Structure formats: structure tokens, C-alpha cells
């Protein structure tokens, strides 16, 4: 800071508040604190913490299984079965499999299927999800995700009608019968 | 070479105060939000690629959490269950239980590599030790559903009927 410039700027200040500024410390002209090392260290730490923080926190998807003692009897007419085969193909059928032929659906269609069937049955529908043990976990989550999205839509639509959503889908083990049924499809 | 060096201008001064202010502000922010690797992650020898799910899911709690990991070992390629607890006090009680059949040197670890039978015993002991415990399943997306199915059966048997699947956010 130039000494001449400093003194020029100070002149009117002293005049303006001559009484009040008496106790104030005079700003030292030409005093410079070299902040470069401070800034260096600050930025070093800043970059370290910026890079070490993970911004993507994992999320969760809640699931529940019925307790062991509970054994729910289901009417066949109220049952929608969704099957996921070894190769990842998804099939669904409503009610009795002897009268209804399993139909192929895609992961994307599953949401619409769940919503329409649940709305048709109005809370009475029970969805049984049977997944083959060989299906990759990735697909399982995709299917569950679609059904969860459908669930929020169903809850919304039912509450618009003044009803409370009660039944959800259940994961049930795949039977050897199911495997046989799916083979020719 | 010497000729190219600029002469330092005498009396030139750049006011760095606002810069320092902002730098320290950001520094404190990142320092407080930084989360360091937990003991569990330090012992873990495998990496889990989580499946993705849509938003509207809740975050994972920090305490009272039991995590069941299903990971594929990066060296041997074996899939196995790994069990860990977030609370140290619960960990001491549960890991030292005689209902769990694991070698004694393993009981000191944070993360346990267990089979399905011991896992069920661990889950049961955990439920007894801390009733508020929440369960999370953190599995690799490549594993077969069989691992999940067996695990869910074990959870049903040990009365841990509510649990969470750990997923990553969809981009």
C-alpha cells in the first residue's frame, strides 16, 4: 500500500469524527499480513475433505415377512400370482391356474398390472410373488421396486375413495409345480 | 532463464481476506459433514455393488442397526453372509454368545463371516440383546435370489420380520 495514497484517504476521516475517533486505534499504514501460507493450507485441507466425503448415501427399501406362526388362508379367486422364471421372464395369472393361463409381462408392465388388478378387487386382492432361486438379486429389487411404486398409487387411489389400504404383496417360495408350469411357456 | 522471471512489484498487495473467509467456511462445512470409514468397512474384504431402486425410500439409521451383507469375495469369488452390528455394546454380548458356533478368535472381529445356521443364531441373539435393533440386508446385485430367500427364512424363524434392503439411488 502506498504511503501517499493512505494519508490522502485518511485526511477527511479525522476531520469528520474528531471527537469520537479519539479512542479508536489508528489503522497502521502499510501493515500487510502475508496470508499466502494460510490460504495454501486451508485449500489443501478443503480439497482433502471435499474428495473424502461420499455424497451418495445408501437408501433402504422396507420389506416384511409374516411371522412363522401366522398362516394365512387365501381364497383362490382373490389371488394374483406373479412368477419370475430362472431366465428373468415374468408371468402372472389370476386365481386358479387350471383355468387361467399364465401370461407373460415385462418389468415395466408390472406396475400397471398391480394397480389395475388391485383397483378391480378393491383391497381384497392378495398378490403372491414367487421368484425362482436362480434369479439375480438385481431383478428381484427391480420387481419389488415396481410393486412398491404401484403400492403408493393404489394407496392414493383408495384413499380418494375413502378406503384404507390393507393388503400388500407377499413373497412366497416357488414350488416345483410352478417350475413345471412355466417350462413350456 | 533469469530474464523471464517477473520482477516482484513493490507495494503490490492482493486482499485475500474474502477468499480466506470462503475457504474456511467451505472447509468447516466439509469437515463436519465428512464421515469416516467405520470399523466394519475397514475389515471388509469385498465390495458390494448395490442394486438401484427409485427414490421415495428412507435413509439408513446410524445406530441400532444390524447389517447382513451378502458379498462376493473379490479374490476367491465365493459368496457368503457377513454379519455386523453398529453398537459396540451389543456386539460384545451377541458375538460372545455360546449359541453361536464360531471360532473364538473370530469373536473379536467387527464383521463376522457366517453360514446360514450361525446367522440365524446371531439374529436371535441380537433380537434378545436389543429389541430396537433394525435389520438391513446389503447384498450384491449379482447374487442369486436363493441367498435372499434363505436369509428371509432365517429372519422369519428368529422373529426379525421387518427389515430393509439397502439400495442405491437411481440417477
- The residue among A167, A154, A137, A59 whose CA lies nearest residue B56 is A59
| Beta-carbon separation of A43 and B11 below 8 A | no
| For testing contact with chain A, the best of B30, B32, B34, B168 (most A CBs within 10 A) | B30
- The residue among A2, A5, A8 whose CA lies nearest residue A32 is A2
C-beta neighbour count of B96 within 10 angstroms: 12
What's the mean per-residue pLDDT of chain B? 81
Q: Which residues contact A112 (CB under 8 A, 6 or more apart)?
A: A150
Q: How far apart are CA A93 and CA A116, in angstroms?
A: 14
Q: Which residues contact A167 (CB under 8 A, 6 or more apart)?
A: A123, A124, A125, A126, A127
Q: Is A99 on the interface with B (CB under 8 A)?
A: no
3-class secondary structure for A81-136?
Answer: EEEECCCCCEEEEECCCCCCCCEEECHHHHHHHHHHHHHHHCCCCEEEEEECCCCE
| Beta-carbon separation of B162 and A137 below 8 A | no
Q: How far apart are CA B153 and CA B2, in angstroms?
A: 78
Strand partners, A104: A91
Q: How far apart are CA A180 and CA B3, in angstroms?
A: 87
Among A2, A60, A137, the residue with its CB nearest the CB of B164 is A60
Do A130 and A169 contact (CB within 8 A), yes or no?
Answer: no
Domain A76-182 adopts which CATH fold?
Nucleotidyltransferase; domain 5 (3.30.420)
Residue A30 C-alpha from the chain's centroid: 58
| Beta-carbon separation of A62 and B164 below 8 A | yes
Distances (CA, A) of A16 to A13, A148, B45, B96: 5, 72, 72, 79
Chain B residues within an 8 Å CB radius of A5: none
C-beta neighbour count of B151 within 10 angstroms: 21
Mean of pLDDT values over B149-160: 86
pLDDT in tens, B104-126: 777 778 888 888 888 888 888 88
**What residues of chain A score a pLDDT lower than 50?**
1-15, 17-18, 20
- Residues above pLDDT 70, as percent of chain B: 88
Look at residue B155 in the predicted model and tell me its pLDDT: 87
Question: How confident is residue B171, by pLDDT bands cut at 50, 70 and 90?
Answer: low
Among B156, B167, B169, the residue with its CB nearest the CB of A65 is B156
- In the structure grid, which three cell numbers stand for residue B128, read together? 434378545
Strand partners, B165: A61, B137
Look at residue B37 in the predicted model and tell me its pLDDT: 65
| Beta-carbon separation of A68 and B156 below 8 A | yes
Ordered strands of the A169-172 beta sheet: A103-105, A90-94, A79-84, A126-131, A169-172
| Beta-carbon separation of A43 and B23 below 8 A | yes
φ and ψ of B67, to 5 deg: -115, 130
Q: How far apart are CA A14 and CA A18, in angstroms?
A: 5
- In the structure grid, which three cell numbers stand for residue B69, read together? 451383507
Q: Is pLDDT of B39 > 80? A: no
Q: How far apart are CA A112 and CA B3, in angstroms?
A: 76
Chain A residues within an 8 Å CB radius of B59: 57, 59-60
pLDDT in tens, B71-102: 888 778 788 888 888 888 888 888 887 777 77
Q: Map out the domains of chain B as residue ranges.
A: 39-169
Question: How confident is residue B64, by pLDDT bands cut at 50, 70 and 90?
Answer: confident
Amino acid at each position: 500500500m502506498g504511503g501517499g495514497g493512505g494519508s490522502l484517504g485518511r485526511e477527511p476521516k479525522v476531520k469528520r469524527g474528531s471527537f469520537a475517533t479519539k479512542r479508536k486505534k489508528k489503522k497502521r499504514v502499510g501493515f500487510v499480513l502475508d496470508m499466502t501460507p494460510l490460504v495454501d493450507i486451508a485449500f489443501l485441507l478443503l480439497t482433502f475433505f471435499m474428495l473424502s466425503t461420499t455424497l451418495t448415501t445408501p437408501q433402504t427399501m422396507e420389506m416384511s415377512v409374516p411371522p412363522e406362526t401366522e398362516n394365512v388362508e387365501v381364497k383362490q379367486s382373490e389371488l394374483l400370482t406373479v412368477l419370475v422364471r430362472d431366465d428373468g421372464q415374468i408371468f402372472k395369472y389370476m386365481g386358479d391356474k387350471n383355468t387361467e393361463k399364465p401370461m407373460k409381462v415385462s418389468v415395466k408392465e408390472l406396475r400397471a398390472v398391480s394397480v389395475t388388478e388391485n383397483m378391480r378387487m378393491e383391497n381384497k386382492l392378495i398378490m403372491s410373488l414367487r421368484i425362482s432361486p436362480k434369479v439375480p438379486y438385481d431383478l428381484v429389487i427391480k420387481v419389488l421396486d415396481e410393486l412398491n411404486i404401484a403400492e403408493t398409487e393404489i394407496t392414493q387411489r383408495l384413499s380418494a375413495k375413502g378406503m384404507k389400504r390393507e393388503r400388500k404383496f407377499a413373497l412366497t417360495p416357488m414350488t416345483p409345480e410352478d417350475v413345471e408350469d412355466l417350462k413350456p411357456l | 532463464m533469469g530474464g523471464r522471471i517477473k520482477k516482484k512489484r513493490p507495494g503490490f498487495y492482493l486482499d485475500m481476506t474474502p477468499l480466506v473467509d470462503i475457504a474456511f467456511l467451505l472447509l468447516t462445512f466439509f469437515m463436519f459433514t465428512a464421515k469416516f470409514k467405520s470399523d466394519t468397512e475397514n475389515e471388509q474384504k469385498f465390495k458390494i455393488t448395490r442394486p438401484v431402486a427409485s427414490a421415495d425410500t428412507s435413509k439408513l439409521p446410524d445406530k441400532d442397526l444390524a447389517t447382513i451383507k451378502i458379498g462376493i469375495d473379490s479374490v476367491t469369488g465365493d459368496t457368503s453372509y457377513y454379519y455386523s452390528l453398529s453398537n459396540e455394546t451389543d456386539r460384545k454380548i451377541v458375538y460372545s454368545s455360546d449359541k453361536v458356533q464360531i471360532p473364538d478368535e473370530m469373536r473379536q472381529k467387527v464383521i463376522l463371516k457366517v453360514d446360514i445356521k450361525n446367522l440365524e443364531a446371531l439374529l436371535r441373539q441380537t433380537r434378545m440383546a436389543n429389541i430396537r435393533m433394525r435389520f438391513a440386508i446389503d447384498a450384491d446385485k449379482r447374487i442369486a435370489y436363493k441367498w435372499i430367500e434363505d436369509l428371509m427364512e432365517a429372519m422369519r424363524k428368529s422373529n426379525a420380520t421387518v427389515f430393509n434392503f439397502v439400495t442405491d439411488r437411481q440417477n
